[in-house]
Amino acid sequence: MRQSKNFIPTLKEVPADAVIPSHILMVRAGMVRMLSAGIYSFLPLGYKVLKKIIEIIREEMDAIGGQEFHLPALNPKEIWEQTGRVEAFGDTMFHVKNRDYVLAPTHEEIMTYHAKGALKSYKDLPQIWYQIQTKFRNEPRPRSGVIRGRQFLMKDAYSFDSSWEGLDKSYEMLDKAYRKIFDRVGIKYFVVGASSGAMGGSKSEEFMVRSDAGEDTVAYCEHCGYAANVEVAQSVIEPVKRHTESREIYEISTPNVKSIDELCEFLKIDERETAKSRIYIYNDEPVLVLMSGNDEVNETKLENVLGGAVRPAHPDELKEITGADAGSIGPIGFKGRIIADLRLKDGNNLYSGANKNDYHIGGIDLKRDVPQIEYFDLRTVQSGEKCTRCGKELEVFKAIELGHIFKLGTRYSEALGAEFLDENGQSQPIIMGSYGIGVERVLACFIEQNHDEKGILWKKPLAPFDVHLLGLNMKKEVVSETSEKIYKELTGAGYDVLFDDRVDAQAGFKFNDADLIGLPVQVIVGERGLKEGTVEVKVRKTGDRAKVKTEDLLAYLKEIFK
Ligand code: ATP
Ligand code: MG
């Protein structure tokens, strides 16, 4: 393809709104342009790469017997109401004004709708259905370029089985296909146990890429390979002590003491002797959540325990519910549900807020004084804590989720009445799985892992072209003629070539563009080299350069691409 005739609008400057390398480079290399917050247009160069990713995904999905669908993005709201997900998605779902339609954020409902009545017998099962299609989510904070968009491409697949063992098998197949996809694309990833969240269902795993730009946090053990999203991760932690003797409850004046650290300082006690209270609202009711010391509540763990979305109570609500402000809240005298982290189980002689500003209570025995308390794993794992599997140290870091596989079970088939007749002629809900990959995220994550200060470092499977042919001074006949000849020769040999045949561009400009776009190999045709009958071949990733006789070029490239 000739660069002079094609639209690859590269930029020298870093776009103002871009922070992370993939975002900066995708804009600078002329792959994408932002239309509006979280909404991106793919330009020809970017779309070319996207199509390569889609093709790899498609091949691997077809290889496990997946059948490709193309469902509408515009959906009747009614179907989504039947599964309760209009409410579950809340503001994240786009609604179409004046019509009872929504823009689909995912497609469990619609696939299940088509399975209903069509997959009638156990003989029709199993099935794997998938599509590669646009999703809409009104993400409150679109950022990091295409990594979190309001419109994005997802490969979503759904498995339909007649037994739980069948679901295990389908899940296994998808898991293997995902590993193949990410290996072929050339991304370094790891798999973590995850929460099934608003989707419902039992087992779920996420395919993750380590990155400071990530919005997920994972705990990882380098020693044994344990990896889990902090939404479900656990660590070995010391429970608080139960002393042989429980003291009596007593009130302490603690003027201006708000945080756990201030309380420890003021009373000269250890963090583990304190219990911090936070109030969450679930189903319009307050729930008091009690944590040991400065341990942090993980809201996803909390939501999984309670069974739905929660939010922290607002400051004015706190006062109304407890009579005190944050920092003085506690379990004694609190009317309502109280749940605590397992670390606090049966703790005594604890200090907590008194539900009265500037007062705390000491001598709390959770067993004696808060008999209705329920214990769950609610805390957020921290770096340096011990792995529950091998006892070595866990590392906690940020990651980007590339893909997610879920065992859904019968949540959707029950809600929508998708049933089949089993071998005994009994009607049963179809057992389902759901499996997603963010296509743009694959692209962005590849660039996150493969770039340097000058630009992108493509590898063959995703590279928009194989070779960047640079004709340095195209006004010189010898350069333009030889470049044209090489262009024909390489194209004829099956290479996909981007030919910088621009007449007015300076050599330095062409070099910078070539490094920015980052094709694996550059073939540089200049007047000086041609005098000796050579061109220069540069491997973009290593920067290695070699003078190659024009007649040896094909053989030389064959070696490089071996
Ligand atoms: P996240 O936690 O990042 O919001 P999710 O759990 O909402 O992701 P799923 O509903 O499981 O994501 O969607 C499947 C895949 O779609 C994700 O693994 C991710 O790669 C991709 N994806 C989800 N939301 C977005 C988005 N806003 N922009 C781009 N890709 C997305
Ligand atoms: Mg999301």
Q: Is the pLDDT of residue 432 over 50?
A: yes
What SS3 string covers 518-533?
CCCEEEEECHHHHHCC
- Distance, in Å, from the CA atom of 204 to the CA atom of 175, rounded to the nearest integer, reads 11
Is the pLDDT assigned to residue 506 strictly greater than 80? Answer: yes
Q: How far is the CA of 133 from the centre of ligand 1 (A)?
A: 13
Neighbouring C-beta atoms of residue 189, cutoff 10 Å: 23
**pLDDT tens profile 1-19:** 999 999 999 999 999 999 9
Residue 194 in this model has a pLDDT that exceeds 90: no
- Out of 441, 445, 446, mutate this one to test ligand 1's pocket (max ligand atoms within 8 Å of CB): namely 441
For 3-233+396-447, which CATH superfamily applies?
A: Bira Bifunctional Protein; Domain 2 (3.30.930.10)
Choose which CATH entry (3.90.550.10, 3.55.40.20, 3.40.1160.10, 3.90.960.10) describes domain 250-376: 3.90.960.10
H/E element holding 114?
helix 108-115
* Ligand 2: centre distance to CA 85 (Å): 14
Q: How many CB atoms lie within 10 A of CB 169?
A: 14
Q: If pLDDT is split at 50, 70 and 90, which confidence band does 99 have?
A: confident
Tell me: pLDDT of 372 over 90.
yes
Determine the average pLDDT of the residues in 152-170: 97
* Residue to mutate, 32, 178, 401, 439, ligand 1, most ligand atoms under 8 Å from C-beta: 401
For residue 55 the two structure tokens come to 């093709």
Judged against a pLDDT cut of 90, whether residue 200 lies above it is answered with no
Question: Per-residue confidence at 143, pLDDT binned at 50, 70, 90?
Answer: confident
Q: Which residues does ligand 1 sit against, CB inside 6 Å? A: 106, 137, 139, 148-149, 152, 154, 215, 401-404, 436-438, 440-441
The share of the chain scoring above pLDDT 90, in percent, equals 94
> Nearest residue CA, atom 26 of ligand 1?
148
pLDDT at 193: 84
Residue 199, pLDDT above cutoff 90: no
Give per-residue pLDDT as tens, 23-71. 999 999 999 999 999 999 999 999 999 999 999 999 999 999 999 999 9
The reported pLDDT for the residue numbered 498 is 98
pTM (2 d.p.): 0.87
Which ligand 1 atom is nearest residue 137's CA? 27
Range with lowest mean pLDDT among 165-169, 197-201, 230-234, 377-381:
197-201
Which band of pLDDT confidence, cut at 50, 70 and 90, is reported for residue 201?
Answer: low
The answer to whether 438 and 402 have CB atoms below 8 angstroms apart is yes
pLDDT at 425 over 50: yes
Domain residue spans in the chain?
3-233+396-447, 250-376, 467-561
User: Confidence band (pLDDT; 50, 70, 90) for 197?
Assistant: low
Neighbours of 509 (CB within 10 A): 14
Atom of ligand 1 nearest to the CA of 206: 18
- Is the pLDDT at 195 greater than 80? The verdict is no
User: How confident is the model over 454-476, as pLDDT tens digits?
Assistant: 999 999 999 999 999 999 999 99
Phi-psi region of 117 (alpha: psi -120 to 50; beta: other; left: phi over 0): left
Instruction: State residue 196's pLDDT score.
Output: 60
Please give the distance, rounded to the nearest whole angstrom, from the Cα atom of residue 438 to the centre of ligand 1. Answer: 6
Q: Render pLDDT for 300-352 as a digit per residue (tens, 0 to 9).
A: 999 999 988 899 999 999 999 999 999 999 999 999 999 999 999 999 999 99
Residue 135: the pLDDT is 98
Question: Please, what sign has the CA dihedral across residues 432, 437, 439, 440?
Answer: positive
For ligand 1, the distance from its centroid to the CA atom of residue 516, given in whole angstroms, is 28
* 531, pLDDT greater than 90: yes
Closest C-alpha to 520, from 491, 551, 543: 543
Ligand 2 centroid–CA 215 distance in Å is 10
467-561 adopts what CATH topology?
A: Rossmann fold (3.40.50)
Work out the mean pLDDT of the chain and round it to a whole number: 95
Query: How many whole angstroms from 298 Cα to the centroid of ligand 2?
Result: 17
